[in-house]
Amino acid sequence: MGLIRFLRGAKLLGQTTEIPGKSLVEHAYAANVDIPTNCTSGNCGSCMVTLLSGDVSIPEPLTPGLDEEIVEEGARLGCIGIPSGDVDIDILPPL
């Protein structure tokens, strides 16, 4: 069972143990961390966060909220990304 940590820069905002099958937004809620959402289907990108370490699922094919370039920079969508194992997330999107 992994540990999902939410950071802003170097500051730890909250953490929770992995909840199998639940999205990053659901994990953030469990950790008392707010990740903004809008469409909840991966289209708008308002829940975009940065994967610092670990594994978070990427939709195949990529949804309109993501493109290959920002995925390579660590972009993940909180509403549909499922973390696996120990994961560190910066709640801000990649620059």
pLDDT in tens, 47-94: 999 999 999 999 999 999 999 999 999 999 999 999 999 999 999 999
Question: Residue 95 pLDDT > 90, yes or no?
Answer: no
pLDDT in tens, 5-21: 999 999 999 999 999 99
Say if 71 falls within a structural domain. Answer: yes
Residue with tokens 């309109």: 64
Question: Residue 27 pLDDT > 90, yes or no?
Answer: yes
Task: Determine if residue 24 is left, alpha or beta; phi over 0 gives left, psi from -120 to 50 gives alpha, anything else beta.
Answer: alpha
| Residue span of the structural domain in which 40 resides | 3-90
Q: Computed over its alpha carbons, how large is the radius of gyration of the chain?
A: 12
Query: How many angstroms separate the first and last alpha carbons of the chain?
Result: 31
Q: What is the pTM of this model?
A: 0.95
- For residue 62, the domain's CATH number is 3.10.20.30
Say if 82 falls within a structural domain. Answer: yes
What is the predicted pLDDT for the residue at 74?
97
